[in-house]
């Protein structure tokens, strides 16, 4: 029995899907602790959780039940950030009783609830329940906390896997966009040119002229449809597309200049909105342009990393110092492009800085805070 439970715990940690992880957590609670039921509520906001996944329940009284902070046993866990236990749910003086009807419907009595944490943030609540009065001991609480900790790790892995999947999807969309533009777009352009040339050769044939006009209209409509398709392919969530777009800029720079450019993401970064993402992309583009114009570099590197409650990009090169005088100032906003970037960053509570390195290279740093942590 113990070996089977340990295997299930390992499977839970290996799960790369959050729904499967939380559903498995509800089942694992009931089977490993030996309670009548186990269920899990996910946070839908900072002050509310909704019960989504259940195992061993007799009714659907708890399904999709919204639990605000401070209400019931789960709401008390949200408020305190620590385990709460009761030996008789509907009669306990330590919790509020907005959900007594649901509790009676399910026949709940003794219950434990603990937070499921991802990093330092509570993301869900794990419950274990009996249909009879019982004084849950510290061992039961510890067991539920252990399962919650494993669920938190599983959710973290699922988040990384989801990010990897969406990053790969963004890369594939960019590849398809480029392929369509280079193949179908070029073909349509060529057909359009040939049709226009034919117009000049058959000016004395009205019937054929009319057919060519219709063909020209069809080519024009196909070109518009292609542009709309390319636009749709380019639309993706900004925070997912950021690493992909930065890597694309490095590849483009290297192909254009023949100078090796490497992109490195040093750690997962928090999600940013479109404005902050756009600023970081513009900073990398400006930094690489500065390398191309002034650095006489042998290589360049672009780094993306979390930093100081925000996200930072760094563009560094090993240039030999052949730069303009104004680009040598170790101040933000050198040159018109950098000055505009620095002003944009300042409006977001961020900063842009270009500095000359001791080895004659140059480093551009752009940092923006997370939207909720603007300074």
pLDDT tens digit at each of 375 positions of the chain: 445 544 554 444 444 467 778 888 999 999 889 999 999 999 988 899 999 999 999 998 999 999 999 999 999 999 999 999 999 999 999 999 999 999 999 999 999 999 999 878 899 999 999 999 999 999 999 999 999 998 988 888 777 666 665 666 666 666 666 666 666 766 776 777 777 777 666 767 777 777 777 777 777 777 666 666 665 665 555 445 688 778 878 887 887 788 888 898 888 888 888 889 889 988 998 898 888 877 678 889 999 999 888 999 999 988 765 444 333 333 333 444 788 889 999 999 999 998 887 666 789 999 999 886 544
> Residue 323 has what pLDDT?
43
> Residue 191 has what pLDDT?
76
Number of domains forming the structure of the chain: 3
Q: Which of 188, 206, 234 is the last residue of a domain?
A: 234
> Residue 162 has what pLDDT?
63
230 and 158 share one domain: no
Query: Model-level pTM?
Result: 0.47
Q: Which domain holds residue 97?
A: 2-162
Q: Which of 210, 234, 258 is the last residue of a domain?
A: 234
157 and 188 share one domain: no
Answer for the pair 215, 193: CB distance below 8 angstroms, yes or no: no
307 and 366 share one domain: yes
188 and 268 share one domain: no
147 and 196 share one domain: no
78 and 97 share one domain: yes
7 and 117 share one domain: yes
CATH number at residue 109: 3.30.450.40
């Amino acid at each position: 029995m113990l070996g089977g439970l340990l295997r299930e715990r390992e499977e839970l940690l290996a799960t790369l899907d959050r729904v499967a992880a939380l559903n498995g957590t509800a089942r694992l609670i009931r089977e490993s602790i030996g309670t009548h039921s186990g269920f899990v509520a996910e946070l839908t906001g900072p002050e509310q959780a909704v019960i989504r996944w259940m195992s061993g329940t007799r009714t659907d009284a708890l399904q999709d039940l919204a639990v605000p902070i401070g209400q019931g046993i789960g709401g008390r866990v949200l408020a305190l950030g620590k385990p709460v236990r009761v030996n008789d749910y509907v009669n306990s003086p330590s919790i509020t009783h907005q959900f007594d009807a649901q509790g009676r419907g399910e026949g709940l009595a003794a219950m434990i609830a603990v937070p499921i944490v991802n990093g330092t943030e509570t993301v869900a609540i794990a419950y274990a329940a009996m249909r009879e009065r019982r004084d849950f001991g510290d061992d039961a609480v510890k067991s539920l906390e252990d399962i919650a900790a494993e669920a938190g790790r599983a959710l973290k892995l699922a988040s990384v896997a989801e990010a990897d999947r969406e990053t790969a999807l963004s890369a594939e969309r960019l590849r398809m966009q480029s392929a369509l533009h280079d193949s179908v777009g070029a073909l349509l352009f060529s057909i359009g040119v040939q049709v226009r040339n034919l117009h000049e050769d058959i000016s004395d044939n009205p019937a054929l002229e009319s057919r060519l006009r219709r063909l020209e209209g069809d080519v024009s409509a196909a070109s518009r449809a292609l542009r709309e398709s390319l636009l749709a392919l380019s639309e993706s969530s900004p925070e997912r597309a950021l690493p992909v777009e930065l890597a694309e800029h490095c590849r483009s720079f290297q192909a254009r200049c023949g100078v090796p450019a490497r992109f490195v993401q040093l750690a997962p970064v928090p999600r940013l909105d479109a404005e902050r993402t756009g600023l970081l992309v513009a900073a990398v583009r400006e930094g690489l342009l500065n390398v191309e114009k002034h650095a006489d570099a042998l290589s360049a590197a672009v780094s993306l990393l979390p930093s100081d409650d925000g996200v930072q990009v760094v563009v560094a090169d090993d240039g030999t110092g052949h730069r303009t005088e104004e680009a040598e100032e170790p101040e933000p906003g050198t040159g018109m492009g950098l000055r505009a970037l620095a002003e944009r960053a300042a409006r977001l509570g961020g900063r842009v800085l270009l500095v000359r390195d001791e080895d004659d290279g140059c480093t551009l740093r752009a940092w923006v805070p997370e939207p909720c942590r603007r300074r």
